[in-house]
């Protein structure tokens, strides 16, 4: 579990299977999670890209191009999205209970969305989270058959604050 004031850093490998497209899309990179402050999702392979979700919104850059900038004042659901990712990656079921029906057996959490409380149509059918000391693996199944499989490794919990650049990145995200 990651507490407030702590930072979780690690690496991820994402395997994405899309219906109608033959081979899966593989990507790899690093992430930084600071509960209450946001998430930095940094892709290294097959190309460099950076996604920052902060309290004010979301910004994505691919290479030199800013490809997405969404403000939480314009799209309030972004705040919920940030909380979902924060809760899921920090393995906190309490943060997810409001939005999902959580069923946990041993080190595996199964989540299905509560339709009435979802603020946007996310089309997620179910999530499966395998827990170790932190979250080791996440599977996301969508209604249309698309699926994402995420493996997390080299996870380190730090009590030190975010780097200045990271703080700036998160506070500027979406604004």
Partner 1 sequence: MEWGEGGSRFAGAMGRSVGVLWLWLLLLVGIWGYAGWHWWNGFPVETDLSSLLPTEEQDPWRKIAKDAVLKEISSRITLLVGHEDGASARAAAQRLRQALEQTGMIVPDLPAPETAKELASLYFPHRNSLLSDADRRALLDKREERPLVARTLGQLFGLAGTVDSRLLAQDPFFLLPSFLLHLPTPSRRLTRVAGELQTTGEGKTWILVSGKLTGSPYATAFQQPFMTAWTTATTEAKQHWPSVQFLRMGAIFYAQAGTEQAIGDSSRIAGVSLLLTVLLFVVTFRGLQPLLFSLFAIANGLAAGFVVCLILFDHLHAVVLLLGSTLIGVAVDYSLFYFTQSFSTRAAPAARLAKTQVGLLLGMLTTLLGYACLAVSPFPGLYQAALFSMAGLLASFLTVVILFPRWDRTPLQTMPSFLLFLVEWLARPWVDKAPARRRLLVGTLLLLALAGVGRFAVDDDIRRQQQPSPLLQEEQKRVQQLTGWGQTTQFFLVEGKDDEEALQRQESLADRLFQMVADGVLESWFGTARFVPSRHRQEENRQLVSARLGSAGLAALHEQTGLTFVLPPTPPHYLTLDHLFAAGTIPLLRETRLQDPDTGRIGHLIFLVGLQQVESLRRGTEGLEGVRFVDPSADFSTLLGRYRERALVLLSLAVLLTMPMLIGRYGWRQGLRAMLPPLTSCVLTPFLLALVGIPFSFFSAIALVLVFSAGIDYTVFCAEAGYPDPPMLAGVCLAALTALFSFGLLAWSQTAAMQAFGGAMFIGVVIALLLAPAAMGTPRSRDA
94 binds partner 1 (CB under 8 A): no
Considering the rule CB under 8 A, would residue 112 count as an interface residue with partner 1? no
Choose one: 1-9, 94-102, 119-127, 151-159; the region binding partner 1 (CB under 8 A): 119-127
3-state class percentages of the chain: helix first, strand second, coil last, to nearest 5: 20, 50, 30
Stretch that binds partner 1, among 1-9, 41-49, 99-107, 128-136 (CB under 8 A): 41-49
- How many CB atoms are located within 10 Å of the residue 102 CB? 15
Q: Of 2, 7, 51, 99, which one interacts with partner 1 (CB under 8 A)?
A: 51
DSSP-derived secondary structure for 70-134? EETTT-THHHHHHHHHHHHHHT-HHHHHTTEEEEEETTEEEEEE-GGG-SS---EEEEEEEESSS
**Overall size of the chain counted in residues:** 175
Note whether 27 binds partner 1 by CB under 8 A: yes
Please, which residues bridge with residue 129 across strands? 109, 138
**Contact code string over 59-88 relative to partner 1, x by CB under 8 A:** -x-xx-x-xx----xxxxx-------x---
Instruction: Check: CB of residue 53 under 8 Å from CB of residue 172.
Output: no
Q: Which of 1, 13, 18, 172 binds partner 1 (CB under 8 A)?
A: 18
Using CB under 8 A, list all residues that contact partner 1: 14, 16, 18-23, 25, 27, 41, 43, 46-47, 49, 51, 60, 62-63, 65, 67-68, 73-77, 85, 116-117, 119-120, 122-124, 138, 140, 142, 144-146, 148, 150
């Amino acid at each position: 579990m990651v507490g407030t004031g702590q930072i979780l850093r690690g690496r991820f490998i994402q395997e994405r299977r899309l219906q109608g497209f033959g081979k899966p899309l593989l990507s790899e990179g690093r992430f930084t999670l600071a509960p209450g402050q946001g998430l930095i999702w940094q892709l290294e392979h097959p190309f460099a890209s950076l996604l920052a979700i902060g309290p004010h919104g979301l910004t994505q850059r691919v290479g030199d191009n800013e490809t997405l900038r969404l403000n939480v004042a314009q799209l309030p659901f972004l705040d919920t999205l940030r909380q979902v990712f924060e809760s899921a990656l920090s393995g906190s079921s309490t943060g997810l209970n409001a939005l999902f029906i959580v069923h946990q057996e041993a080190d595996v959490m199964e989540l299905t969305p509560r339709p009435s409380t979802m603020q946007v149509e996310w089309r997620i059918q179910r999530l499966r989270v395998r827990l170790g000391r932190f979250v080791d693996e996440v599977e996301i199944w969508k209604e249309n058959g698309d699926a994402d499989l995420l493996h997390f490794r080299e996870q380190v919990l730090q009590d030190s604050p975010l780097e200045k650049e990271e703080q700036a990145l998160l506070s500027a995200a979406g604004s």
